[in-house]
């Protein structure tokens, strides 16, 4: 189905690849946590300053723009503090899908949760309480237990809304989108929707290496963004939900690559950034 914005002349824009930028990445040489923290601080301090980019708050997005929703799962976690620094460096909004249990697991996580909760650039949403204890098949067999887990997270995180993302599954439950990646999770997803949860998945994920660092580089991810828009693969026309995780931002390379990814998107002047609560139709009452 053709999109209203996709005229042939516009599509030619996506064929122009974003200029490759060579980056010299500083590798961590220390193996203890204190050394990692110091090196991370050095990396963040060396990121180039950037002029403030105005955020567009009107409901209507210009026809020549695409909307990107930066979302980060599983926080508060290792890397959360680095994530916040990158967002402020680039003055860009994002959404953090938090795990309820992680918000109180340690003193550092409690402190990070308070920072996230009061940060104007960041929106907090529900990613369950226990993250299915990483036993996803068992978790989704009991729809009532799934609902209860999300309700506990909602209360513990003091969330006023019901925007949620399911752990280990790319599931969508909005009035206009009904998608389940693994069909055995259907009943649990439907139960969340019946209870009023707006379940949102993602269009593009930046996955990790086996060392839990960001895999690949920002140039590859930028090409994937263009490909999704050019081939009409996003769930909603002109709106792309991007996913990665806080815990991948613990090494210098990953920090630099995420920063460059955001910087290049901004400098292209083709995208605007929104929190997930601005996603089309997400605030409608569910049928």
Instruction: Name the percent of the chain lying above pLDDT 70.
Output: 79
Domain CATH for 149: 3.20.20.370
Q: Is the pLDDT of residue 49 over 80?
A: no
Token pair belonging to 124: 């907090």
What CA–CA distance (Å, rounded) separates 196 from 286?
Answer: 7
Q: Is the pLDDT of residue 16 over 60?
A: no
Q: Is residue 284 part of a domain?
A: no
Q: Is the pLDDT of residue 74 over 90?
A: yes
What CA–CA distance (Å, rounded) separates 128 from 189?
Answer: 13
| Span 73-92, average pLDDT | 98
**Nearest in space to 264 (alpha carbons), one of 221, 233, 227, 209:** 221
Q: Is residue 249 part of a domain?
A: yes
Of 13 and 186, more confident:
186
Q: Is the pLDDT of residue 21 over 70?
A: no
Token pair belonging to 215: 């895999």
Residue 42: band (very low, low, confident or very high) from pLDDT cuts 50, 70, 90:
low
What CA–CA distance (Å, rounded) separates 10 from 41?
Answer: 41
Q: Is residue 209 part of a domain?
A: yes
Q: 150 φ, ψ to 5°?
A: -70, -35
Q: Is residue 57 part of a domain?
A: no
Q: Is the pLDDT of residue 154 over 60?
A: yes
Domains held by the chain: number: 1
Q: Is the pLDDT of residue 31 over 70?
A: no
Token pair belonging to 229: 């828009």
Q: How far is CA 120 from CA 19, 22, 75, 88, 94, in A?
A: 32, 32, 17, 10, 10
What CA–CA distance (Å, rounded) separates 260 from 71?
Answer: 16
pLDDT for position 39: 61
pLDDT for position 62: 86
Worst-scoring range by mean pLDDT, 40-54, 127-141, 187-201, 227-241? 40-54
Q: How far is CA 173 from CA 35, 36, 194, 237, in A?
A: 43, 40, 10, 17
What CA–CA distance (Å, rounded) separates 59 from 109?
Answer: 34
The pLDDT tens digits for 215-270 are: 999 999 999 999 999 999 999 999 999 999 999 999 999 999 999 999 999 999 99
* Cβ neighbour number for residue 65 with a 10 Å cutoff: 14
Q: Is the pLDDT of residue 147 over 50?
A: yes
Q: Is residue 270 part of a domain?
A: yes
pLDDT for position 287: 82
Q: Is the pLDDT of residue 6 over 60?
A: no
Q: Is the pLDDT of residue 50 over 80?
A: no
What CA–CA distance (Å, rounded) separates 70 from 57?
Answer: 16
**Nearest in space to 239 (alpha carbons), one of 228, 250, 249, 255:** 228
Q: Is the pLDDT of residue 213 over 80?
A: yes
Q: Is residue 21 part of a domain?
A: no
The pLDDT tens digits for 94-123 are: 999 999 999 999 999 999 999 999 999 999
- Tokens 């003091």 appear where? 158
pLDDT for position 54: 38
Q: Is the pLDDT of residue 44 over 80?
A: no
pLDDT for position 12: 41
Q: Is the pLDDT of residue 163 over 50?
A: yes
Q: Is residue 50 part of a domain?
A: no
pLDDT for position 14: 44
- Across all residues in the chain, what is the average pLDDT? 86
* Segments forming the whole domain that contains residue 243: 64-278
């Amino acid at each position: 189905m053709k999109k209203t914005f996709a005229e042939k002349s516009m599509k030619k824009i996506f064929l122009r690849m974003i200029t490759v930028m060579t980056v010299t990445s500083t590798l961590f040489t220390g193996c203890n946590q204190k050394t990692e923290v110091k090196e991370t601080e050095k990396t963040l301090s060396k990121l180039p300053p950037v002029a403030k980019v105005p955020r567009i708050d009107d409901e209507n997005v210009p026809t020549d723009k695409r909307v990107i929703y930066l979302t980060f799962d599983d926080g508060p976690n290792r890397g959360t503090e680095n994530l916040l620094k990158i967002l402020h460096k680039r003055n860009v909004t994002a959404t953090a899908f938090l795990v309820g249990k992680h918000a109180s697991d340690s003193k550092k996580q409690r402190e990070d949760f308070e920072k996230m909760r009061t940060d104007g650039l960041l929106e907090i949403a529900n990613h369950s309480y226990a993250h299915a204890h990483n036993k996803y098949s068992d978790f989704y067999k009991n729809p009532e237990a799934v609902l209860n887990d999300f309700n506990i997270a909602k209360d513990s995180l003091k969330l006023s809304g019901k925007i949620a993302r399911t752990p280990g599954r790319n599931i969508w439950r909005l009035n206009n989108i009904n998608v389940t990646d693994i069909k055995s999770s259907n009943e649990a997803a439907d139960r969340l929707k019946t209870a009023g949860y707006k379940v949102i998945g993602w269009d593009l994920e930046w996955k990790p290496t086996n060392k839990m660092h960001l895999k690949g580089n920002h140039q590859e991810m930028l090409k994937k963004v263009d490909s999704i828009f050019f081939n009409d693969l996003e769930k909603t026309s002109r709106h792309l939900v991007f996913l990665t995780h806080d815990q991948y931002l613990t090494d210098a390379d990953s920090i630099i690559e995420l920063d460059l990814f955001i910087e290049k998107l901004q400098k292209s002047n083709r995208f605007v950034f929104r929190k997930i609560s601005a996603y089309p139709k997400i605030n409608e009452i569910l049928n």
